Amino acid sequence: MCSSKLVILPVAAVSTLSVVLFGSACTPTPMGPPLGSGGSTTTNQSSEPSGNGGTGGVVGPSVTVTLPDLPPPSDNGGTGGTTTPATWPPEGFVVKEASYGAYALGPLVSSLPDATDGQLGSEGGPGRCSGLFGVLRDFKMGTVEGGHPDFEKPPMVRDEGLVTDMLGDDKKPVYAHGDETTRTTSGQANFDQWYRDVPDVNTAYVIGFQFVPNGDVFTFAASLGNTDADVEDTSYYPLDDQGFGNEGKRHNYHFTTEIHTSFTYNGGEIFTFQGDDDVFVYINNHRVIDLGGIHEQLTQTVDLDAQAEALEITTGNIYELAVFNAERHTTQSNFRIDTTMVFEDCGQIIK
């Protein structure tokens, strides 16, 4: 790939998301030094719940979204028991409730208008963005004609080390094996399609995630194994009956999720991801979570203070966060984020 497009969804004073588009370079950066996660990894083998149906029709090309403010956090990093205002979801998005918060399918990325100026919002906070926006890309499973060989076809096996330790200059993961295959991937050319818009190979949609107060953290969770008695298990199926469809399966299991945002590092932050299949998380362009491969739900936590030197971050400054997930196989799909980060914008969509 030789270019990419970035749509920035900044936070304005009234929490309105506006869309900004500009080009960026795409030369990968070299591999950096190994970096640990500052956390632990566990496996959850819970069975899949019944689900809650499809998402309905594809929405129109509206890309201006007004979101509510949340109250400021309490001194301990939480929200003092407050809840997200009921004005979620953004207009025109099709919503599914989750265990914590909700997720909403938006317009096709191809329908977003081009623009030439703008910058990241700087007025964000835990309550400024009740929604965080990214991109879903739907694929045909590799067991059908014209399908992508990295989806459904590979075996269910862990496959860490698929991507380099540093994010590419185009803000995409860099495949670490050149033209060689791995246990679950078929080479760089096919992997590069996971998080880039490729006509006839994938279909890209805007996705919104509603984060809600959850004790000392903010949480979005569409996942199994929730321990709170009043929280039901859910699953992450944002593209049921959309894109290439369910392909004879109960749900659409073959898609990727990409989220870009920025946050202020104040000290003491944590970031936890729980889900399946592949998960790659980068902070300040450094890889901090690597859960590659086709596997059951796994969890990993990053303690930013413990990794501050390796991440090259200092308190009081703003840094980038990038999250990449791939759902590549039946029969589960889980996605959960718990964090104390202060987001400075509501999402950056990189085509």
Is pLDDT of 343 > 50? yes
**Closest by Cα among 142, 182, 163, 125 to 31:** 163
What mean pLDDT is reported for the chain? Answer: 77
CA-CA distances (angstroms) from residue 37 to 30, 278, 345? 20, 15, 24
pLDDT of residue 163: 98
- Tens of pLDDT, residues 56-73: 322 223 233 333 333 333
Q: pTM of the full predicted structure?
A: 0.78
> pLDDT tens, 93-113?
999 999 999 999 999 999 887
- Residue with more model confidence, 42 or 4: 4
For 107-166, what is each residue's pLDDT tens digit? 999 988 764 222 222 233 344 556 789 999 999 999 999 999 999 999 999 999 999 999
90 confidence band (pLDDT: 50, 70, 90): confident
Question: For residue 204, what are its two tokens?
Answer: 């890209």
Q: Which residue has the higher pLDDT, 239 or 46?
A: 239
Residue 53 has pLDDT above 70, yes or no: no
**pLDDT average, residue stretch 16-31:** 30
Contact (Cβ atoms closer than 8 angstroms) between residue 235 and residue 226: no
For the stretch 260-302, pLDDT in tens is 999 999 999 999 999 999 999 999 999 999 999 999 999 999 9
How many Å apart are CA 26 and CA 330, to the nearest integer?
32
C-beta of residue 59 within 8 angstroms of C-beta of residue 107:
yes
What is the mean predicted confidence (pLDDT) over 233-261?
96
CA distances from 38 to 78, 302, 308 (A): 22, 5, 10
CA distances from 266 to 77, 156, 305, 318 (A): 11, 39, 10, 9
pLDDT at 41: 37
Domain that holds residue 219: 4-350
- Residue 91: pLDDT band by 50, 70, 90 thresholds? confident
- Which pLDDT score is estimated for 61? 30
- Contact between 340 and 211 under an 8 Å Cβ cutoff? The reply is no
Give SS3 for 6. strand
Tell me the C-alpha distance between 152 and 91, whole Å: 34
Q: Are strands 217-222 and 342-343 parallel, antiparallel or unpaired?
A: unpaired
Number of domains in the chain: 1
At 331-342, the pLDDT tens digits run 899 999 999 998
